[in-house]
Amino acid sequence: MIPAIVVSSIFLLLIIIYLVAVFFAYRGAYYNDEKGLPISLHALHGVQYKEYRERMDQAIDKAKLIPINEEVRIKSYDGKSLYAKIYISNLERPWVIEVHGYKGIGIRDFWGGLPEMLYRGFNVLLVDQRGHGESEGRTFTFGVKEQYDVDSWIDYLNKRYNNPKMFLYGISMGGNTVVNCVAHNLPMNVLGVIADSPYNRARDVVMYRAKERNYPHFIAVGLLYPAAAIFAHFNLNKGDAAEAVKKTKIPVLIIHGNRDKTSPTFLTEQIYQANPQMVTYFQVPNAVHVMSLLEDHEGTVNAMVNFIEKKMHLRVLPYNNPNEKEP
């Protein structure tokens, strides 16, 4: 018979090995190891972006030159320091809160969305999500906690600028973040949501990426769920955008490229199907993940302008950048 102390030691060793594996799953899935890298290194990488690389880098460089009116910090609902840049067009005009994606920063993902909104007469609050950029920490939760950070930014704008009209605009992970906000008790001055290349649920995109990397399903479940709970402190089953839009009265526009392999369209179509009356779905042929503005600039801009004017009932001004013509 094996002595009890040996059995206990083996059991303890197995637990330690398992927890180490869970920790490495956390580092791979929910930890931002790219935070602090130079802006040039934040450009999206991978084979799918090869054809867009030069134009994307040029657009990022131009966006970096747009004058920042102010840099601000607030505290999140759970005490973390959150950072954003303010760009003023006209304080009599509405605001847009722009929320970037996975391991990004505001200026990387909104190289197109920032100038398009600013130079069409909207004031922009360009945020760095928790665990990214100048905001606190390195851990992120695929929109589960981040959605409540958006509530804090809404409250900030309402208190500082006396409840201005505004809407939310998110990209990729930021798209899921802002769509989930429609299930909150948002103030009446939040008039709509634009989401570029979002996904329905945090667990959907996490498990999809694990599958793409050929991880067996039982291993992915056994590591990624406890990694979220133990080290990232969130429930991977939360953050269901389709459930969020079911009863919403806030209009939502989803923009998605049909060649997106990072967050495929089937992860988004569930959101549209949950409430077709309030969710507008615009699919861009041949566009990969978050590249709709580069693949079909005119069509994507027209979709956003029509949505803002017809669904939110806000006036969109003609594009007016004093330094250049419209891209």
Write the pLDDT tens digit of every residue in 131-167: 999 999 999 999 999 999 999 999 999 999 999 999 9
Question: pLDDT by residue (tens digit) across 204-215?
Answer: 999 998 888 888
Which stretches of the chain are assigned E, i.e. beta strand?
70-75, 81-87, 95-99, 123-128, 166-171, 190-196, 252-257, 279-284
Which residues neighbour 1 within 8 Å (Cβ) at sequence distance 6 or greater? none
- Rounded to whole angstroms, the Cα distance separating 214 from 12 reads 29
Is 173 exposed, middle or buried, given 0-12, 13-18 or 19+ CB atoms closer than 10 A? Answer: buried
pLDDT in tens, 221-231: 999 999 999 99
Residue 100 burial (CB count, 10 A): 28
pLDDT of residue 1: 64
Ordered by where they begin, the domains of the chain are 1-30+205-237 (no CATH), 38-201+239-310 (3.40.50.1820)
pLDDT of 41 strictly over 80: no
Tokens for 75?
A: 């505290």
Q: Which residues of 186-225 are buried (b: 16+ CB within 10 A; e: fewer)?
A: beebbbbbbbbbbbbbbbbbbbbbbeeeebeeeebeebbb
Confidence of residue 50 (pLDDT cuts 50, 70, 90): confident
Span 162-202, pLDDT tens digits: 999 999 999 999 999 999 999 999 999 999 999 999 999 99
Minimum mean pLDDT range among 34-48, 70-84, 135-149, 221-235: 34-48
